[in-house]
Structure 1
Protein backbone atom coordinates (compact mmCIF):
# COMPACT_ATOMS: atom_id res chain seq x y z
CA UNK A 1 0.00 0.00 0.00
CA UNK A 2 1.26 3.49 -0.84
CA UNK A 3 1.08 6.06 1.91
CA UNK A 4 0.67 9.64 0.73
CA UNK A 5 4.31 10.66 1.02
CA UNK A 6 5.55 7.52 -0.75
CA UNK A 7 3.03 8.07 -3.54
CA UNK A 8 4.12 11.70 -3.96
CA UNK A 9 7.79 10.74 -4.05
CA UNK A 10 7.27 7.99 -6.59
CA UNK A 11 4.78 10.04 -8.60
CA UNK A 12 7.20 12.96 -8.95
CA UNK A 13 9.95 10.65 -10.23
CA UNK A 14 7.47 9.03 -12.58
CA UNK A 15 6.23 12.17 -14.34
CA UNK A 16 9.78 13.26 -15.11
CA UNK A 17 10.78 9.90 -16.54
CA UNK A 18 11.20 9.34 -20.26
CA UNK A 19 7.86 9.10 -22.02
CA UNK A 20 5.93 11.21 -19.51
CA UNK A 21 7.93 14.37 -18.97
CA UNK A 22 6.63 15.95 -22.18
CA UNK A 23 3.13 16.04 -20.67
CA UNK A 24 4.11 18.24 -17.71
CA UNK A 25 5.32 21.38 -19.48
CA UNK A 26 1.86 22.82 -20.25
CA UNK A 27 0.55 22.64 -16.64
CA UNK A 28 3.85 24.07 -15.36
CA UNK A 29 3.46 27.07 -17.69
CA UNK A 30 -0.17 27.56 -16.57
CA UNK A 31 0.85 27.47 -12.90
CA UNK A 32 3.68 29.91 -13.51
CA UNK A 33 1.41 32.49 -15.13
CA UNK A 34 -1.33 32.19 -12.50
CA UNK A 35 1.02 32.37 -9.53
CA UNK A 36 2.81 35.40 -10.98
CA UNK A 37 -0.56 37.17 -11.26
CA UNK A 38 -1.44 36.03 -7.74
CA UNK A 39 1.65 37.51 -6.11
CA UNK A 40 1.23 40.80 -7.93
CA UNK A 41 -2.43 41.08 -6.89
CA UNK A 42 -1.82 40.11 -3.25
CA UNK A 43 1.10 42.48 -2.79
CA UNK A 44 -0.97 45.34 -4.20
CA UNK A 45 -4.00 44.74 -1.93
CA UNK A 46 -2.79 42.93 1.18
CA UNK A 47 -2.32 46.06 3.31
CA UNK A 48 -5.82 47.37 2.58
CA UNK A 49 -7.43 44.01 3.32
CA UNK A 50 -5.63 43.75 6.65
CA UNK A 51 -6.57 47.27 7.74
CA UNK A 52 -10.25 46.72 6.90
CA UNK A 53 -10.30 43.43 8.77
CA UNK A 54 -8.64 44.84 11.90
CA UNK A 55 -11.06 47.78 11.90
CA UNK A 56 -13.90 45.31 12.51
CA UNK A 57 -12.45 44.05 15.80
CA UNK A 58 -14.79 45.25 18.60
CA UNK A 59 -13.34 47.34 21.38
CA UNK A 60 -13.95 44.71 24.05
CA UNK A 61 -11.54 42.40 22.24
CA UNK A 62 -8.84 45.05 22.03
CA UNK A 63 -6.79 43.40 24.76
CA UNK A 64 -6.48 40.31 22.51
CA UNK A 65 -5.13 42.27 19.54
CA UNK A 66 -1.71 40.68 19.95
CA UNK A 67 -3.36 37.29 19.22
CA UNK A 68 -6.10 38.35 16.81
CA UNK A 69 -3.76 40.19 14.43
CA UNK A 70 -1.61 37.17 13.50
CA UNK A 71 -4.70 34.94 13.30
CA UNK A 72 -6.32 37.42 10.92
CA UNK A 73 -3.17 37.49 8.81
CA UNK A 74 -3.07 33.68 8.66
CA UNK A 75 -6.77 33.48 7.77
CA UNK A 76 -6.41 36.13 5.06
CA UNK A 77 -3.41 34.37 3.54
CA UNK A 78 -5.29 31.04 3.58
CA UNK A 79 -8.35 32.58 1.92
CA UNK A 80 -6.28 34.22 -0.82
CA UNK A 81 -4.25 31.06 -1.35
CA UNK A 82 -7.40 28.96 -1.51
CA UNK A 83 -9.06 31.24 -4.07
CA UNK A 84 -6.10 31.34 -6.44
CA UNK A 85 -5.57 27.59 -6.08
CA UNK A 86 -9.10 27.02 -7.36
CA UNK A 87 -8.43 29.30 -10.33
CA UNK A 88 -5.16 27.52 -11.12
CA UNK A 89 -6.75 24.09 -11.13
CA UNK A 90 -9.71 25.25 -13.18
CA UNK A 91 -7.32 26.32 -15.94
CA UNK A 92 -4.89 23.39 -15.64
CA UNK A 93 -7.51 20.64 -15.20
CA UNK A 94 -7.60 19.52 -18.88
CA UNK A 95 -3.83 18.97 -18.86
CA UNK A 96 -3.90 17.19 -15.49
CA UNK A 97 -6.67 14.81 -16.56
CA UNK A 98 -4.75 13.93 -19.70
CA UNK A 99 -1.54 13.46 -17.66
CA UNK A 100 -3.35 11.20 -15.16
CA UNK A 101 -4.50 8.93 -17.99
CA UNK A 102 -0.96 8.61 -19.34
CA UNK A 103 0.45 7.92 -15.86
CA UNK A 104 -2.14 5.21 -15.22
CA UNK A 105 -1.16 3.45 -18.42
CA UNK A 106 2.55 3.53 -17.53
CA UNK A 107 2.27 2.83 -13.77
CA UNK A 108 -0.38 0.09 -13.79
CA UNK A 109 -0.28 -1.35 -17.31
CA UNK A 110 -4.03 -0.75 -17.57
CA UNK A 111 -5.91 1.67 -19.74
CA UNK A 112 -8.33 4.04 -17.96
CA UNK A 113 -11.96 3.25 -18.71
CA UNK A 114 -12.19 6.61 -20.46
CA UNK A 115 -9.02 7.11 -22.48
CA UNK A 116 -9.70 10.49 -24.06
CA UNK A 117 -7.63 12.73 -26.25
CA UNK A 118 -6.56 16.16 -25.07
CA UNK A 119 -9.43 17.99 -26.81
CA UNK A 120 -12.14 15.81 -25.27
CA UNK A 121 -10.32 15.77 -21.92
CA UNK A 122 -10.42 19.58 -21.94
CA UNK A 123 -14.17 19.70 -22.54
CA UNK A 124 -14.99 16.99 -19.98
CA UNK A 125 -12.57 18.42 -17.40
CA UNK A 126 -14.24 21.84 -17.56
CA UNK A 127 -17.63 20.31 -16.75
CA UNK A 128 -16.15 18.28 -13.90
CA UNK A 129 -14.37 21.33 -12.48
CA UNK A 130 -17.66 23.24 -12.43
CA UNK A 131 -19.19 20.38 -10.43
CA UNK A 132 -16.30 20.62 -7.98
CA UNK A 133 -16.74 24.38 -7.68
CA UNK A 134 -20.46 23.94 -6.98
CA UNK A 135 -19.48 21.67 -4.08
CA UNK A 136 -16.53 23.69 -2.78
CA UNK A 137 -17.64 27.32 -3.03
CA UNK A 138 -20.68 27.21 -0.69
CA UNK A 139 -18.56 25.52 2.00
CA UNK A 140 -15.75 27.99 1.46
CA UNK A 141 -18.29 30.83 1.79
CA UNK A 142 -19.40 29.50 5.19
CA UNK A 143 -15.78 29.36 6.35
CA UNK A 144 -15.21 32.87 5.02
CA UNK A 145 -18.14 34.16 7.10
CA UNK A 146 -16.82 32.34 10.17
CA UNK A 147 -13.46 34.04 9.59
CA UNK A 148 -15.14 37.43 10.10
CA UNK A 149 -17.07 36.58 13.29
CA UNK A 150 -15.20 37.77 16.40
CA UNK A 151 -14.42 34.86 18.68
CA UNK A 152 -15.32 32.16 16.17
CA UNK A 153 -12.59 33.38 13.83
CA UNK A 154 -9.99 32.15 16.32
CA UNK A 155 -10.65 28.66 14.98
CA UNK A 156 -10.70 29.68 11.32
CA UNK A 157 -7.01 28.94 10.53
CA UNK A 158 -7.43 25.32 11.66
CA UNK A 159 -10.74 24.97 9.81
CA UNK A 160 -9.22 26.42 6.64
CA UNK A 161 -6.24 24.05 6.92
CA UNK A 162 -8.49 20.97 7.22
CA UNK A 163 -10.78 22.19 4.47
CA UNK A 164 -7.81 22.89 2.19
CA UNK A 165 -6.53 19.33 2.70
CA UNK A 166 -9.97 17.93 1.84
CA UNK A 167 -10.28 20.16 -1.23
CA UNK A 168 -6.80 19.25 -2.49
CA UNK A 169 -7.67 15.57 -2.11
CA UNK A 170 -10.91 16.07 -4.05
CA UNK A 171 -9.15 18.13 -6.71
CA UNK A 172 -6.32 15.72 -7.50
CA UNK A 173 -7.82 12.32 -6.74
CA UNK A 174 -10.71 13.22 -9.00
CA UNK A 175 -8.46 13.08 -12.08
CA UNK A 176 -7.92 9.29 -12.08
CA UNK A 177 -11.45 8.67 -10.77
CA UNK A 178 -13.01 10.74 -13.53
CA UNK A 179 -10.89 8.84 -16.05
CA UNK A 180 -12.37 5.62 -14.62
CA UNK A 181 -16.00 6.77 -14.68
CA UNK A 182 -16.36 7.27 -10.93
CA UNK A 183 -19.06 9.87 -10.33
CA UNK A 184 -18.32 12.90 -8.20
CA UNK A 185 -20.71 11.72 -5.46
CA UNK A 186 -19.18 8.23 -5.47
CA UNK A 187 -15.70 9.74 -5.34
CA UNK A 188 -16.57 11.73 -2.20
CA UNK A 189 -17.93 8.59 -0.54
CA UNK A 190 -14.77 6.68 -1.38
CA UNK A 191 -12.57 9.46 -0.04
CA UNK A 192 -14.58 9.67 3.19
CA UNK A 193 -14.39 5.89 3.65
CA UNK A 194 -10.57 6.15 3.47
CA UNK A 195 -10.39 9.40 5.40
CA UNK A 196 -6.84 9.06 6.73
CA UNK A 197 -5.06 8.48 3.39
CA UNK A 198 -7.37 11.13 1.91
CA UNK A 199 -6.50 13.87 4.39
CA UNK A 200 -2.82 12.94 4.61
CA UNK A 201 -2.53 13.09 0.82
CA UNK A 202 -4.48 16.36 0.68
CA UNK A 203 -2.34 17.80 3.48
CA UNK A 204 0.91 16.99 1.70
CA UNK A 205 -0.40 18.48 -1.55
CA UNK A 206 -1.46 21.62 0.34
CA UNK A 207 2.06 21.95 1.73
CA UNK A 208 3.52 21.46 -1.74
CA UNK A 209 1.39 24.27 -3.15
CA UNK A 210 2.94 26.62 -0.58
CA UNK A 211 6.50 26.03 -1.78
CA UNK A 212 7.41 29.01 -3.99
CA UNK A 213 8.56 28.00 -7.48
CA UNK A 214 9.16 24.39 -6.38
CA UNK A 215 5.40 23.81 -6.46
CA UNK A 216 5.38 24.48 -10.20
CA UNK A 217 7.43 21.32 -10.72
CA UNK A 218 5.98 19.21 -7.88
CA UNK A 219 2.26 19.55 -8.64
CA UNK A 220 2.42 17.32 -11.74
CA UNK A 221 3.91 14.73 -9.39
CA UNK A 222 0.82 15.13 -7.22
CA UNK A 223 -1.28 14.12 -10.23
CA UNK A 224 0.80 10.96 -10.67
CA UNK A 225 0.58 10.33 -6.92
CA UNK A 226 -3.22 10.57 -7.19
CA UNK A 227 -3.13 7.75 -9.75
CA UNK A 228 -1.07 5.61 -7.36
CA UNK A 229 -3.40 6.42 -4.45
CA UNK A 230 -6.39 5.52 -6.64
CA UNK A 231 -4.81 2.20 -7.52
CA UNK A 232 -3.89 1.20 -3.96
CA UNK A 233 -6.60 2.79 -1.81
CA UNK A 234 -9.74 3.62 -3.76
CA UNK A 235 -10.14 1.45 -6.86
CA UNK A 236 -11.73 -1.43 -4.95
CA UNK A 237 -13.51 0.65 -2.32
CA UNK A 238 -16.76 1.15 -4.19
CA UNK A 239 -18.55 -1.44 -2.04
CA UNK A 240 -17.32 0.23 1.16
CA UNK A 241 -18.31 3.65 -0.08
CA UNK A 242 -21.84 2.71 -1.11
CA UNK A 243 -24.53 4.71 0.74
Structure 2
Protein backbone atom coordinates (compact mmCIF):
# COMPACT_ATOMS: atom_id res chain seq x y z
CA UNK A 1 0.00 0.00 0.00
CA UNK A 2 2.62 2.56 -1.09
CA UNK A 3 1.53 5.70 -2.95
CA UNK A 4 3.17 9.01 -3.83
CA UNK A 5 2.28 11.56 -1.18
CA UNK A 6 -0.03 14.49 -1.90
CA UNK A 7 -0.85 14.09 -5.59
CA UNK A 8 -4.24 13.96 -7.37
CA UNK A 9 -3.35 10.49 -8.66
CA UNK A 10 -2.70 9.14 -5.19
CA UNK A 11 -6.00 10.60 -3.97
CA UNK A 12 -7.88 8.93 -6.82
CA UNK A 13 -6.12 5.62 -6.15
CA UNK A 14 -7.21 5.67 -2.50
CA UNK A 15 -10.81 5.52 -3.68
CA UNK A 16 -10.11 2.73 -6.18
CA UNK A 17 -8.35 0.72 -3.48
CA UNK A 18 -11.30 1.43 -1.20
CA UNK A 19 -13.61 -0.22 -3.73
CA UNK A 20 -11.40 -3.30 -3.77
CA UNK A 21 -11.16 -3.44 0.00
CA UNK A 22 -14.94 -3.20 0.27
CA UNK A 23 -15.17 -6.65 -1.33
CA UNK A 24 -13.35 -8.30 1.59
CA UNK A 25 -15.60 -10.93 3.24
CA UNK A 26 -14.91 -9.59 6.75
CA UNK A 27 -16.43 -6.21 5.84
CA UNK A 28 -19.72 -7.43 4.39
CA UNK A 29 -21.59 -7.29 7.69
CA UNK A 30 -20.70 -3.61 8.10
CA UNK A 31 -22.04 -2.42 4.75
CA UNK A 32 -25.50 -4.05 4.78
CA UNK A 33 -27.41 -1.26 6.58
CA UNK A 34 -25.62 1.59 4.73
CA UNK A 35 -26.41 -0.13 1.43
CA UNK A 36 -30.09 -0.47 2.31
CA UNK A 37 -30.18 3.23 3.23
CA UNK A 38 -28.42 4.11 -0.03
CA UNK A 39 -30.88 2.10 -2.12
CA UNK A 40 -33.89 3.82 -0.54
CA UNK A 41 -32.37 7.28 -1.05
CA UNK A 42 -31.34 6.37 -4.59
CA UNK A 43 -34.95 5.74 -5.59
CA UNK A 44 -36.20 9.02 -4.11
CA UNK A 45 -33.37 11.37 -5.12
CA UNK A 46 -32.83 9.96 -8.61
CA UNK A 47 -36.53 10.46 -9.34
CA UNK A 48 -36.20 14.09 -8.22
CA UNK A 49 -33.03 14.50 -10.32
CA UNK A 50 -34.74 13.28 -13.51
CA UNK A 51 -37.72 15.55 -12.86
CA UNK A 52 -35.73 18.75 -12.30
CA UNK A 53 -33.37 18.21 -15.21
CA UNK A 54 -36.46 17.84 -17.40
CA UNK A 55 -37.90 21.05 -15.95
CA UNK A 56 -34.71 22.98 -16.75
CA UNK A 57 -34.50 21.64 -20.28
CA UNK A 58 -38.18 22.33 -21.05
CA UNK A 59 -38.42 25.67 -19.31
CA UNK A 60 -35.43 27.53 -20.71
CA UNK A 61 -36.86 29.52 -23.60
CA UNK A 62 -37.00 33.21 -24.43
CA UNK A 63 -38.58 35.09 -27.31
CA UNK A 64 -36.11 37.28 -29.18
CA UNK A 65 -35.87 38.78 -32.67
CA UNK A 66 -34.65 36.38 -35.35
CA UNK A 67 -31.30 38.14 -35.67
CA UNK A 68 -30.61 37.48 -31.97
CA UNK A 69 -31.81 33.87 -31.94
CA UNK A 70 -28.38 32.31 -32.50
CA UNK A 71 -26.85 34.27 -29.61
CA UNK A 72 -29.86 33.53 -27.40
CA UNK A 73 -29.67 29.80 -28.16
CA UNK A 74 -25.95 29.77 -27.34
CA UNK A 75 -26.48 31.54 -24.01
CA UNK A 76 -29.38 29.28 -23.11
CA UNK A 77 -27.28 26.19 -23.79
CA UNK A 78 -24.55 27.56 -21.52
CA UNK A 79 -27.10 28.35 -18.82
CA UNK A 80 -28.56 24.85 -19.17
CA UNK A 81 -25.09 23.38 -18.68
CA UNK A 82 -24.52 25.42 -15.51
CA UNK A 83 -27.93 24.49 -14.08
CA UNK A 84 -27.51 20.80 -14.84
CA UNK A 85 -24.06 20.76 -13.20
CA UNK A 86 -25.50 22.50 -10.15
CA UNK A 87 -28.38 20.01 -9.95
CA UNK A 88 -25.92 17.10 -10.19
CA UNK A 89 -23.81 18.61 -7.40
CA UNK A 90 -26.91 19.08 -5.23
CA UNK A 91 -27.94 15.50 -6.03
CA UNK A 92 -24.57 14.07 -5.02
CA UNK A 93 -24.32 16.34 -1.98
CA UNK A 94 -27.84 15.50 -0.75
CA UNK A 95 -27.26 11.78 -1.30
CA UNK A 96 -24.11 11.94 0.83
CA UNK A 97 -25.44 14.16 3.60
CA UNK A 98 -28.63 12.20 4.25
CA UNK A 99 -26.87 8.84 4.04
CA UNK A 100 -24.09 9.94 6.35
CA UNK A 101 -26.42 11.27 9.02
CA UNK A 102 -28.39 8.00 9.08
CA UNK A 103 -25.51 5.58 8.64
CA UNK A 104 -22.68 7.45 10.42
CA UNK A 105 -22.23 4.95 13.30
CA UNK A 106 -22.05 2.05 10.83
CA UNK A 107 -19.53 3.92 8.67
CA UNK A 108 -17.41 4.50 11.77
CA UNK A 109 -17.40 0.76 12.46
CA UNK A 110 -16.64 0.04 8.79
CA UNK A 111 -13.61 2.37 8.95
CA UNK A 112 -12.50 0.70 12.17
CA UNK A 113 -12.67 -2.82 10.73
CA UNK A 114 -11.03 -1.73 7.49
CA UNK A 115 -8.11 -0.30 9.43
CA UNK A 116 -7.77 -3.48 11.44
CA UNK A 117 -7.61 -5.50 8.21
CA UNK A 118 -4.96 -3.20 6.75
CA UNK A 119 -2.73 -2.87 9.83
CA UNK A 120 -3.43 -6.07 11.77
CA UNK A 121 -3.87 -3.90 14.87
CA UNK A 122 -7.15 -3.76 16.77
CA UNK A 123 -8.53 -0.28 17.50
CA UNK A 124 -9.88 0.38 20.98
CA UNK A 125 -13.63 -0.09 20.72
CA UNK A 126 -16.26 2.27 22.12
CA UNK A 127 -19.66 1.14 23.42
CA UNK A 128 -22.48 1.90 20.98
CA UNK A 129 -24.45 3.74 23.65
CA UNK A 130 -21.65 6.33 23.86
CA UNK A 131 -20.55 6.23 20.23
CA UNK A 132 -23.92 6.92 18.56
CA UNK A 133 -24.70 10.29 20.23
CA UNK A 134 -21.08 11.43 19.85
CA UNK A 135 -21.00 10.52 16.15
CA UNK A 136 -24.32 12.23 15.46
CA UNK A 137 -23.06 15.37 17.21
CA UNK A 138 -19.96 15.33 15.01
CA UNK A 139 -22.05 14.79 11.87
CA UNK A 140 -24.20 17.79 12.75
CA UNK A 141 -21.05 19.85 13.27
CA UNK A 142 -19.84 18.85 9.81
CA UNK A 143 -23.26 19.61 8.34
CA UNK A 144 -23.18 23.12 9.81
CA UNK A 145 -19.69 23.62 8.38
CA UNK A 146 -20.83 22.49 4.93
CA UNK A 147 -24.01 24.58 4.92
CA UNK A 148 -22.45 27.88 6.04
CA UNK A 149 -19.53 27.67 3.65
CA UNK A 150 -21.69 26.15 0.92
CA UNK A 151 -23.88 29.26 0.94
CA UNK A 152 -20.78 31.43 0.53
CA UNK A 153 -19.50 29.25 -2.33
CA UNK A 154 -22.91 29.45 -4.04
CA UNK A 155 -22.81 33.24 -3.86
CA UNK A 156 -19.29 33.26 -5.32
CA UNK A 157 -20.43 30.95 -8.15
CA UNK A 158 -23.38 33.24 -8.87
CA UNK A 159 -21.18 36.33 -8.83
CA UNK A 160 -18.59 34.76 -11.14
CA UNK A 161 -21.24 33.42 -13.51
CA UNK A 162 -22.96 36.79 -13.81
CA UNK A 163 -20.00 39.16 -13.88
CA UNK A 164 -17.37 37.32 -15.93
CA UNK A 165 -18.57 37.09 -19.57
CA UNK A 166 -18.52 33.59 -21.14
CA UNK A 167 -15.55 32.37 -19.06
CA UNK A 168 -17.60 32.73 -15.88
CA UNK A 169 -20.17 30.30 -17.25
CA UNK A 170 -17.52 27.57 -17.31
CA UNK A 171 -15.64 28.75 -14.21
CA UNK A 172 -18.67 28.79 -11.88
CA UNK A 173 -19.37 25.02 -12.18
CA UNK A 174 -15.66 24.29 -11.65
CA UNK A 175 -15.76 26.22 -8.38
CA UNK A 176 -18.77 24.15 -7.35
CA UNK A 177 -17.06 20.90 -8.28
CA UNK A 178 -13.92 21.85 -6.34
CA UNK A 179 -16.02 22.64 -3.27
CA UNK A 180 -17.89 19.36 -3.62
CA UNK A 181 -14.59 17.43 -3.85
CA UNK A 182 -13.30 19.12 -0.69
CA UNK A 183 -16.52 18.29 1.19
CA UNK A 184 -16.39 14.65 0.10
CA UNK A 185 -12.80 14.25 1.24
CA UNK A 186 -13.49 15.91 4.57
CA UNK A 187 -16.56 13.76 5.12
CA UNK A 188 -14.94 10.40 4.48
CA UNK A 189 -11.45 10.98 5.82
CA UNK A 190 -13.15 12.06 9.03
CA UNK A 191 -14.41 8.56 9.90
CA UNK A 192 -10.98 7.04 10.63
CA UNK A 193 -9.90 10.38 12.15
CA UNK A 194 -12.87 10.23 14.54
CA UNK A 195 -12.02 6.64 15.47
CA UNK A 196 -8.65 7.93 16.67
CA UNK A 197 -10.23 10.96 18.41
CA UNK A 198 -8.60 13.39 16.02
CA UNK A 199 -10.65 16.59 16.22
CA UNK A 200 -12.65 17.89 13.26
CA UNK A 201 -10.55 21.07 13.22
CA UNK A 202 -7.32 19.05 13.18
CA UNK A 203 -8.35 16.81 10.29
CA UNK A 204 -9.43 19.87 8.28
CA UNK A 205 -5.99 21.40 8.73
CA UNK A 206 -4.26 18.16 7.83
CA UNK A 207 -6.32 17.76 4.66
CA UNK A 208 -5.56 21.37 3.70
CA UNK A 209 -1.86 20.47 3.90
CA UNK A 210 -2.58 17.55 1.54
CA UNK A 211 -4.66 19.62 -0.87
CA UNK A 212 -3.66 17.77 -4.07
CA UNK A 213 -4.46 14.29 -2.81
CA UNK A 214 -7.55 15.67 -1.05
CA UNK A 215 -9.02 16.97 -4.31
CA UNK A 216 -8.04 13.80 -6.15
CA UNK A 217 -9.82 11.64 -3.58
CA UNK A 218 -12.86 13.90 -3.29
CA UNK A 219 -13.07 14.31 -7.06
CA UNK A 220 -13.41 10.56 -7.51
CA UNK A 221 -16.14 10.38 -4.88
CA UNK A 222 -18.02 13.29 -6.46
CA UNK A 223 -17.79 11.73 -9.93
CA UNK A 224 -19.17 8.41 -8.68
CA UNK A 225 -21.84 10.12 -6.57
CA UNK A 226 -23.53 11.71 -9.59
CA UNK A 227 -23.76 8.40 -11.47
CA UNK A 228 -26.99 6.57 -10.59
CA UNK A 229 -26.53 3.00 -9.30
CA UNK A 230 -22.77 3.51 -8.89
CA UNK A 231 -23.49 6.01 -6.12
CA UNK A 232 -25.05 3.21 -4.06
CA UNK A 233 -21.65 1.62 -3.43
CA UNK A 234 -19.61 4.84 -3.69
CA UNK A 235 -20.32 5.87 -0.09
CA UNK A 236 -19.06 2.75 1.73
CA UNK A 237 -16.16 2.58 -0.76
CA UNK A 238 -15.29 6.17 0.16
CA UNK A 239 -15.16 5.11 3.83
CA UNK A 240 -12.67 2.32 3.14
CA UNK A 241 -10.76 4.56 0.73
CA UNK A 242 -10.69 7.31 3.35
CA UNK A 243 -9.22 4.80 5.79
CA UNK A 244 -6.41 4.02 3.34
CA UNK A 245 -5.88 7.77 2.90
CA UNK A 246 -5.72 8.21 6.69
CA UNK A 247 -3.13 5.46 7.10
CA UNK A 248 -0.93 6.67 4.25
CA UNK A 249 -0.96 10.44 4.74
CA UNK A 250 -3.01 11.64 7.69
CA UNK A 251 -2.56 9.52 10.81
CA UNK A 252 0.17 11.69 12.31
CA UNK A 253 -2.63 14.21 12.98
CA UNK A 254 -1.60 15.50 16.43
CA UNK A 255 -4.77 17.05 17.91
CA UNK A 256 -7.08 14.95 20.05
CA UNK A 257 -10.43 15.58 21.71
With the shorter chain as reference, the TM-score category is 0.7 to 0.9
Normalized against structure 2, the TM-score is what?
A: 0.80
CA drift at 1:50 = 6.5
Which stretches in structure 1 are left out of the alignment for 5+ residues?
none
Which moved further from structure 2: 98-107 or 66-75?
66-75
Normalized against structure 1, the TM-score is what?
A: 0.84
1:108 pairs with 2:119: yes
Q: Give the conservation status (yes or no) of the 8 Å contact 1:53–1:72.
A: no
Which moved further from structure 2: 162-171 or 79-88?
79-88
CA distances 1:124-152 after superposition (whole Å, capped 9, x unpaired): 22111111011110111123334445236
Match of 1:35 in 2: 42
CA drift at 1:29 = 0.7
Structure 1 residues 18-29: aligned runs within 5 Å = 18-29=25-36
CA drift at 1:123 = 2.1
Task: Give RMSD over aligned pairs.
Answer: 2.6
Structure 1 residues 83-98: aligned runs within 5 Å = 83-98=94-109
Which stretches in structure 2 are left out of the alignment for 5+ residues?
4-9, 63-67
CA drift at 1:170 = 0.4
SS of residue paired to 2:26: coil
Counterparts in 2 of 1:117 and 1:85: CA distance versus 1, 3 Å: same
Which moved further from structure 2: 144-153 or 165-174?
144-153
Match of 1:174 in 2: 190
1:130 pairs with 2:140: yes
Counterparts in 2 of 1:163 and 1:30: CA distance versus 1, 3 Å: same
Match of 1:190 in 2: 206
CA drift at 1:184 = 0.6
Match of 2:7 in 1: none
Counterparts in 2 of 1:15 and 1:119: CA distance versus 1, 3 Å: farther
CA drift at 1:156 = 2.0
Counterparts in 2 of 1:69 and 1:15: CA distance versus 1, 3 Å: closer
Which of these residues, 83, 90, 111, is aligned with residue 79 of structure 1?
Answer: 90
Counterparts in 2 of 1:228 and 1:54: CA distance versus 1, 3 Å: farther
Match of 1:159 in 2: 175
Q: Give the conservation status (yes or no) of the 8 Å contact 2:11–2:212.
A: no
Relative contact order: is structure 1 or structure 2 higher (C-alpha 8 Å, sep ≥ 6)?
A: 2
Which of these residues, 23, 29, 45, is aligned with residue 16 of structure 1?
Answer: 23
Aligned residues: 234
CA distance in 2, matches of 1:172, 1:151: 34
Structure 1 residues 202-221: aligned runs within 5 Å = 202-221=218-237
Q: Give the conservation status (yes or no) of the 8 Å contact 1:95–1:118.
A: no
Q: Give the conservation status (yes or no) of the 8 Å contact 2:53–2:84.
A: no
Counterparts in 2 of 1:54 and 1:165: CA distance versus 1, 3 Å: farther
Match of 1:229 in 2: 245
CA distances 1:189-234 after superposition (whole Å, capped 9, x unpaired): 1001111111111111112212321232243222111111111101
Counterparts in 2 of 1:53 and 1:64: CA distance versus 1, 3 Å: closer
Which moved further from structure 2: 27-36 or 211-220?
211-220
SS of residue paired to 2:123: coil
